[in-house]
């Protein structure tokens, strides 16, 4: 069992948050893993980020263009509300500290190559003797099994391997990736779900487990209905003009007189409303366009008509008409406009925290809203900022024990800063 009772306070997290009392050791770097664990921190978990002093910690600290020394806005994005300790697991002294932390924690979360957790001894089989209830969650490129398990995996590469790029972009253009690292971020969510599910079972049964999550599996699962259509009916997905839906027409981007908007008519009622808003009620009774199936069959005839109508007015005029008609629609906004949209502000999706380098640093909140309270925004940690605090308050180490571990290289080179 864990070194403390399930649900016991860590002494750090705000009381009343859903994951208060959960402690997660995070051996993570860059985007996918930290994106998953930041939501756990936002939900009240005590996420202790273990950073390798020999490597300078998480590589995300150095990602340009907004980086100086070991601070970067990239790192801030994925690591708010966590604690950081410097610990060299390759040193026996560092491994001993890690094992003490495992005894006092609920989960070990990593995003390393699929073969690495077993190599460095952080699988359930390795850690169960220390804490039978520990949950070991591995997020990797390709998983802990299979011919690619030892390969490094990155979002862009996986988008290519799993068919995403083959169906993204204009029909006459090259294969195209998403504008964001959607595979990374989706896998972070999957890993967080897997870890929380594992914790639930461990607290119910007293027995932990491995959670094996990968970018590859997540990307394949997100092929969803086009993939199922292919498996069962031989459907061959293809790139669509103006990001159109593969089967619903109209459901795509359209160019207005001064910009772009997205219009969706996935139900017959929306199609009828759209024809009225466009002052083209004749389209609703045209036998070519009456039903979803009709419109899909005759898309090459319908879409040029809609393109011509929508090009005649500016986006704002169309938005006023379409929203009044209750047609699903939205402007294609810039990132800047999206971040200052009234809906963004109303949903409190931009957080502010004080930071020693940036003064006030602004980040984007977790979309996971559970219960009446939200976590107080806390900046990302400096590397090793909480080493001394964690060793003393959590593990009960005294000066002599900390000094001996430091001298043995647990926290980096003995002549370095062990704080």
| Residues involved in catalysis | 184
Contact present, 161 and 216 (Cβ < 8 Å): yes
- Of the candidates 165, 152, 27, 46, the one whose C-alpha atom is nearest the C-alpha of residue 89 is 27
Contact present, 80 and 117 (Cβ < 8 Å): no
Q: What is the CA radius of gyration of the chain?
A: 26
- Of the candidates 412, 417, 414, 413, the one whose C-alpha atom is nearest the C-alpha of residue 87 is 412
Side-chain-side CA neighbours of 358 within 13 Å: the count stands at 23
Token pair belonging to 87: 């610990």
φ/ψ of 361, rounded to 5, equals -110, 135
Query: In which region does residue 343 sit, left (phi positive, over 0), alpha (psi from -120 to 50) or beta (all else)?
Result: alpha
Is residue 342 within a helix (H) or strand (E), and if so which, with residue range? helix 342-346
Q: CA-CA distance, 364 to 349, in Å (whole number)? A: 6
Token pair belonging to 254: 């359209």
Before 250, cis peptide (omega within 30)? Answer: yes
Q: Measured in Å, how far apart are the chain's first and last C-alpha atoms?
A: 30
Before 205, cis peptide (omega within 30)? Answer: no
Contact present, 52 and 61 (Cβ < 8 Å): no
Q: Is 249 exposed, middle or buried (0-12, 13-18, 19+ CB in 10 A)?
A: buried
């Amino acid at each position: 069992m864990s070194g403390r009772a399930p649900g016991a306070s860590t002494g750090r997290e705000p009381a009343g948050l859903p994951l208060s009392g959960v402690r997660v050791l995070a051996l993570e770097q860059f985007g996918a893993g930290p994106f998953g664990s930041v939501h756990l921190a936002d939900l009240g978990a005590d996420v202790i980020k273990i950073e390798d002093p020999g490597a300078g910690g998480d590589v995300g600290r150095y990602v340009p263009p907004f980086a100086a020394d070991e601070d970067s806005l990239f790192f801030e994005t994925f690591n708010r509300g966590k604690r950081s300790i410097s610990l060299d697991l390759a040193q026996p002294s560092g491994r001993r500290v890690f094992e003490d932390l495992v005894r006092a924690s609920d989960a070990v979360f990593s995003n390393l190559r699929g073969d690495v957790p077993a190599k460095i001894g952080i699988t359930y089989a390795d850690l169960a003797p220390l804490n039978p209830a520990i949950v070991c969650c591995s997020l990797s490129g390709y998983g802990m099994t299979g011919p690619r398990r030892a390969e490094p995996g990155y979002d862009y590469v996986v988008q290519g391997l799993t068919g995403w790029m083959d169906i993204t972009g204009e029909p006459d253009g090259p294969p195209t990736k998403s504008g964001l690292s959607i595979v990374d971020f989706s896998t972070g969510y999957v890993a967080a779900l897997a870890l929380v599910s594992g914790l639930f079972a461990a607290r119910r049964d007293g027995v932990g487990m491995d959670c094996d999550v990968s970018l590859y599996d997540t990307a394949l699962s997100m092929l969803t209905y086009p993939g199922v259509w292919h498996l069962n009916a031989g459907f061959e997905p293809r790139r669509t003009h103006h990001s159109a839906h593969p089967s619903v027409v109209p459901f795509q981007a359209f160019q207005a007189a001064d910009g772009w908007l997205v219009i969706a008519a996935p139900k017959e009622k929306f199609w009828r409303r759209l024809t009225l808003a466009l002052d083209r009620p004749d389209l609703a009774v045209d036998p070519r366009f009456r039903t979803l199936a009709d419109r899909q069959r005759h898309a090459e005839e319908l879409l040029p008509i809609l393109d011509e109508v929508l090009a005649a007015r500016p986006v704002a005029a169309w938005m006023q008409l379409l929203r009044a008609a209750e047609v699903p629609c939205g402007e294609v906004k810039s990132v800047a406009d999206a971040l200052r949209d009234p809906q963004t502000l109303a949903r409190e999706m931009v957080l502010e925290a004080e930071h020693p380098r940036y003064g006030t640093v602004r980040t984007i909140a977790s979309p996971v809203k559970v219960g009446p309270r939200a976590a107080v925004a806390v900046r990302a940690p400096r590397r090793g900022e909480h080493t001394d605090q964690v060793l003393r308050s959590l593990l009960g180490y005294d000066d002599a024990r900390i000094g001996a571990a430091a001298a043995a290289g647990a926290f980096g080179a003995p002549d370095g800063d062990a704080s």
